Amino acid sequence: MYTNAQYIAFNGTNTGIRCDINGVTSFVPIDPANTDYANIMALVAAGELTIAPAE
């Protein structure tokens, strides 16, 4: 289960997504081959998850 998703950035460029995966804070790379990233984007496409912009 993916919750509390937010982009993280370095020098103004998004470098990953911080989110809770089954309650554990995790850092997911922006990489379509990464299974977590693919799952997150599928949830976003389905309207079931929103990724907050980087702070």
Partner 1 sequence: MSIILNGTTGITTPADTVTGNATVGGTLTVTGATTLTGAATLTGGIAGDVSSTGTLAMGSSFKRNRIINGNMVVDQRNAGASVTIGSSAGTYTLDRWCAQSVNASKFSVQQNAGSITPPTGFTKYLGVTSLAATSSGSTDYYGFFQAIEGFNTADLAWGTASAASVTISFWVRSSLTGSFSASLTNSGSNRSYPFSYTVNAANTWEQKTVTVAGDTSGTWLTDNSTGIYLRFDLGTGSSFRGTAGTWAAANYYGVTGAVSVVGTNGATFYVTGVQLEVGTKATPYETQIYSDQLAQCQRYYRGSTPVVVNPVATPSTIFTNSMRTSPTLTGGGTGFTIISQTGDTTTCYQTSSANQNLTFSAEL
Helix (H) or strand (E) holding 39: helix 35-45
- Tell me which of 3, 5, 12, 29 binds partner 1, using CB under 8 A: 29
Minimum distance of partner 1 from residue 50's CB (angstroms): 19
Tokens at 5, concatenated = 């998703």
Secondary structure class of 41 (helix, strand, coil): helix
Is 35 an interacting residue with respect to partner 1 (CB under 8 A)?
yes
Dist CA 15 CA 1 (whole Å): 21
CB of 45 to partner 1, least distance (A): 16
Q: Which residues bind partner 1 (CB under 8 A)?
A: 1, 8-10, 15-16, 21-22, 24-29, 31, 33-37
